[in-house]
Amino acid sequence: MANRFDWNALEQNLASVLEQYDELNRTKALSVVASRELFDIDSEEAVDCLTDGGNDRGVDLFFIDDRDGKQDIHLLQVKCADTFENSKKNFPGSEVDKLLSFVNDLAGQDMDALATANPLLKAKIADASDTLKEANATITVHFISNTEPLVDGEKQRIETAFSRYRAISFEMHGLDALSDYFLEKRAPNLEREITAIDTNFFDRSDQNLRGVVCTVTGTDIVEMIRSQDDPNIVEESVFDQNVRVYLKRGNRINKTIIESALDENNHMFWYQNNGITMTCDKFVMGPSKRSPKISMTNVQIVNGGQTSNCLFEAWNEDADKVADLLLLVRIIETTDEDVKLSIAETTNSQTPINVRDLKSNDRLQRQLEASFADLGHYYERKKGQHAEQNRALRIDALDASQAYLAYGVGMPEISKKDRGRIFGDLYETVFSDEISAQKLLTSFYLMQAINEQKKELRRRIKEEDNLAPGEMALIDGAFHALFALRQICVRDDLDLWNFDIAKGKVGEATQLVQGLYAAQQASDDNFSSNRFFKDARTKDIITRIVG
């Protein structure tokens, strides 16, 4: 069951979103926090997906994931308690019926029934109509709350309602599940010690590398990762260079690891588990030929983070069982950060990894971080890396590179719909020899200027103002407005990287995209905002209009 620490972790994230988007309420902020973690989208895109308000049919957020050939529609209904005491309540089952009715209408494409939706939801429905034509289309309903989940009876009722649909499912994310996403990392110079079992070890050296492979007890790993300030918690910074975040017992594989550690036959653990890989600047083995102690300086667990944390959980349940357990450990001594990064990448290749995490420690990213520091800013190679610093001075690597891909490289359709490629197959394109901290910073702040206009648009939508044709364009087309700004600066022979000069053309760029949007909408009865801004030809039309 979730505790006060889980509540506080989520509250910090809600406060961060509310600080950035002061027009949102707590429910919308929770929608943003949950969707960016569930779907790997940034806060701005999550805000663009909000549909909460009058006539929202029970849908607080509507996200269509068409990355990597997927055609997945995600609908969120969100409930946000105001106090920790209220978090003990269950998600209200009485609230789900509106959403179930909407899903039935959406799946059946009952356009008359859907016509009462608010403007934001209508735009998403139009996009979803395209998606639902695809053979692999799916709909997933997410019930999100900072409380306990639905009671079993209500879950069964939803399962029954969706059972007649092949491609419709639902997921429940309560406070306990959401809190798993928020693990802060710190990186002190850690010194730790483990003991090799008997003579079950060997070491070797190759050029500037030295390594040792040994067998240790589960208790040794627990003691190694235990916080020296609070022995009841894990020292998260020992996993700073690990490309994965611990997924806790809720993850199927981790549940199996814990069960096997506590099993009567846990002597099998050494044979069934891949073990743990550590890097360190230096290790020293004691003189004993049997059971030598191994002292490590600046140690990091780069592979086996899930195993280590699972052993800690298992130890809290039965310390004696974990003391009997043996596992394989590999320690690699090197001060070469590139080698450490390579080891982290290659030893984590068994299962999918966030590609941004894999690139976060490479030389160019570290150089950019240093250059941003010279400009008085904090470049976050890793998500939330400088969480303790002034938000106004923190520049997220993915946010900045998204803006640069649209403005500096000229690929707005990728910026909006497939940002994961930035640290994947487009990494060399974005982070080429042309990149600089100043260019990333300028792109980032120009995108912010456009987003301020989008923020005002959202306020007007909330207040149900009458919108002129095309004004909705910025919800999906902000990156295309940034691209239009680039083309205008090129046309007028202006310095792309002078923020003050370029910012003066933001109004012209947004008006251009709004006019184009209105013209396309008027000429196409089946117009889809999502399809229009995903189409690579749209930027070609913008280029022709700019002249």
Cβ(385)–Cβ(428) under 8 Å?
Answer: no
Look up residue 206 and give its amino acid.
D
Please check whether residues 99 and 174 belong to one and the same domain: yes
Same domain, 342 and 303: yes
Domain count, the chain: 3
| Per-residue confidence band for 245, with pLDDT thresholds at 50, 70 and 90 | low
Res 68: pLDDT: 75
User: 21-34 pLDDT, tens per residue?
Assistant: 988 999 999 999 99
| Residue 396 covered by a domain | yes
Last residue of a domain, one of 146, 179, 212: 179
SS3 93: helix
Question: What sign has the CA pseudo-torsion 371, 372, 373, 375?
Answer: positive
Residue type, 458: R
Residue 182 confidence (pLDDT): 58
Out of 220-224, 418-422, 447-451, pick the least confident.
418-422
Residue 277 has pLDDT above 80, yes or no: yes
Residues of the domain holding 308:
191-352
Amino acid found at 408: G
Assessment of whether the complete model's pTM goes beyond 0.85? no
- How many whole angstroms separate alpha carbon 112 and alpha carbon 116? 8
- 296-316 mean pLDDT: 92
Question: Helices marked H in 407-467 — which ranges?
Answer: 412-417, 427-430, 437-462
Residues 377 and 526 in one domain: yes
Which of 352, 372, 390 is the last residue in one of the domains?
352
CA 421 to chain centre: 14
pLDDT of residue 462: 82
Task: Tell me the pLDDT tens digit for each residue of 178-199.
Answer: 876 654 433 457 899 999 998 8
Together in a domain, 315 and 360: no
Residue showing tokens 């959202």? 458
186 assigned to some structural domain: no
Tell me: do 388 and 315 sit in the same domain: no
Would residue 185 count as lying in a domain? no
The residue-averaged pLDDT of 452-480 equals 90
Residues 77 and 160 in one domain: yes
Residue 184 placed within a domain: no
**pLDDT at position 404 over 90:** yes
**Poorest-pLDDT segment among 2-6, 40-44, 211-215:** 2-6
Q: How far is CA 205 from CA 7, 177, 202, 213, 296, in A?
A: 48, 44, 11, 12, 16
| Per-residue pLDDT at 250 exceeds 60 | no
Report yes or no on 298 lying in a domain: yes
User: β-strands 300-303, 201-206: how paired?
Assistant: unpaired
pLDDT tens for each residue of 44-88 = 889 999 998 888 999 999 999 988 788 999 999 999 999 999 999
Dihedral (CA of 400, 401, 402, 403) sign? positive
Segment 129-151 shows an average pLDDT of: 91
pLDDT score, position 370: 94
One domain for residues 65 and 146: yes
Identify the domain boundary among 151, 179, 207: 179
pLDDT band at 423 (very low <50, low <70, confident <90, very high): confident
8 A C-beta contact, residue 99 and residue 141? yes
- Per-residue pLDDT band at 37 (split at 50, 70, 90): confident
Two structure tokens written together for 142: 């997410």
347 with 358, same domain: the answer is no
For residue 129, what is the domain's CATH number?
3.40.1350
Q: What is the number of H-type helices and E-type strands within the chain? A: 25, 14
Residues 212-222, mean pLDDT to the nearest whole number: 95
- Span 79-120, pLDDT tens digits: 999 999 999 998 988 778 888 899 999 988 888 888 889 989
144/78 Cα distance (integer angstroms): 5
Q: Is residue 74 part of a domain?
A: yes
Task: List, as one string, the DSSP characters of 339-378.
Answer: HHHHHHHHHTTTS---HHHHHTTSHHHHHHHHHHHHTT-E
Q: HSE of 117 in the Cβ direction (CA atoms, 13 Å)?
A: 29
- Per-residue pLDDT for 352 more than 50? no
| Residue 537 pLDDT grade (very low, low, confident, very high; cuts 50, 70, 90) | very high
Give 353's pLDDT tier (boundaries 50, 70, 90): very low
Type and span of the H or E element at 74: strand 72-79
Structure tokens at 498: 């002078």
Q: Report pLDDT for 362.
A: 82
Nearest residue to 475 (alpha-carbon basis) of 21, 44, 73: 44
Among the listed residues 527, 478, 487, 479, the one whose alpha carbon sits nearest the alpha carbon of residue 505:
487
Q: What percent of the chain shows pLDDT beyond 70?
A: 94
Q: What is the pLDDT of residue 184?
A: 40
CA distance 99 to 77: 8
Q: How far apart are CA 408 and CA 447, in angstroms?
A: 12
Same-domain pairing of 75 and 197? no
Same domain for 415 and 344: no
Give domain status of residue 479, yes or no: yes
Residue 251: the pLDDT is: 57
DSSP assignment, residue 408?
I
pLDDT for res 92: 86
Q: How confident is the model at residue 176 (pLDDT cuts 50, 70, 90)?
A: confident
pLDDT at 351: 42
- Let me know whether 387 and 536 are in one domain: yes
Predicted confidence at residue 185, as pLDDT, reads 35
- Do residues 153 and 35 both lie within one domain? yes
Residue 118, domain member (yes or no):
yes
Average pLDDT for the chain: 88
Q: Is the pLDDT of residue 156 over 70?
A: yes
